[in-house]
Amino acid sequence: MANWYRFSSPQTFYPLAGRMVPWFGGAAAILTLVGLYIGFFVAPTDAQQGESYRIIFIHVPASWMSMFIYLVMAGWAAIGLGFNTRLSHMMAAALAPTGALFAFLSLWTGALWGKPTWGTYWVWDARLTSELVLLFLYIGYMALHAAIDDTRRADKACAVLALVGVVNIPIIYFSVQWWNTLHQGASVSVTRAPSMAAVMFAGMLVMVFAFWAYSIAVALARVRAIILERERHATWVHDLAGAAA
């Protein structure tokens, strides 16, 4: 059995992450091209919404990623708290900006879809408000980390914040069932067949995988930068910089 603990050391993870970035980045690019092709050229015009519905090909994947990245970030934070592993906290910190970006894109594309469809960019309904809270949680995580000089203490404080914030994820997900929201119910669910045309669903799913690959690539690239910043006193980092010089 492979010794997975080996990769919990920043020194062994740094080159491994470096090798994985181009693969996930390449996969993201190819999947995006396929997804956009299906979304714009294969999927037909929606009978009710016209062409404005094409926004969902990025809105739904961005929204899912914003929630999923938060769960992964909180998972790394929990592992970091429990096992006191530096790399776990670095992974959590590497995911926060990308998660914030997807939360913002979810709100942005949602607003631009809402205007022609609902007649308004924004309403304070449960789904939209809880997604906005998610964006603030990401921003709060990053701000808290930046505000504490001692990195180890910052890691722990941020991990607690990330874990407390997890309560918001089911609120976002179930908000359309729990409350009477302007936002419609889920078009796609794990328990039943999607309530949309198969080709539209396929295009959306490809974009989900594209965003997934993108997020992994960017998070791995960012964790490499974080490793260099935080381990700058380590001998192997100096050897690396010396070899590159």
Partner 1 sequence: MNWGSAAEFFAMGGYAPYVWGSYGVTALCLIIEPLVVRARRRAALARLKAVEGAARRTANEATA
Q: At what angle do helices 126-147 and 151-165 cross, to 10 degrees?
A: 170
Q: Binding of partner 1 at residue 40 (CB under 8 A)?
A: yes
Tokens of 210: 């594209």
Q: Which is nearer to partner 1, 29 or 166 (CB)?
A: 29
Residue 46 pairs in a beta bridge with: 50
Exactly one of 72, 144, 202, 221 binds partner 1 (CB under 8 A); that residue is: 221
Site for partner 1 in 99-118 (CB under 8 A): 101, 104-105, 108-109, 112-113, 115-116
Which of these, 156, 140, 141, 167, lies nearest to 67 by C-alpha position?
Answer: 167
Which residue do the tokens 């010794």 mark?
3
Task: In angstroms, give the least distance from the CB of 104 to partner 1.
Answer: 8
Task: In angstroms, give the least distance from the CB of 25 to partner 1.
Answer: 7
- The neighbour count for residue 180, using CB atoms within 10 Å, is 8
Tokens of 34: 């396929």
Alpha-carbon distance of 241 to 231, in angstroms, equals 12
Q: Binding of partner 1 at residue 34 (CB under 8 A)?
A: no
Query: What number of chain residues touch partner 1 (CB under 8 A)?
Result: 42
Q: Binding of partner 1 at residue 54 (CB under 8 A)?
A: yes
Alpha-carbon distance of 34 to 42, in angstroms, equals 10
Residues that bind partner 1 (CB under 8 A): 25, 40-41, 43-45, 50-52, 54-55, 58-59, 62, 97-98, 101, 104-105, 108-109, 112-113, 115-116, 214, 217-218, 221-222, 224-225, 228-229, 232, 237-238, 240-242, 244-245
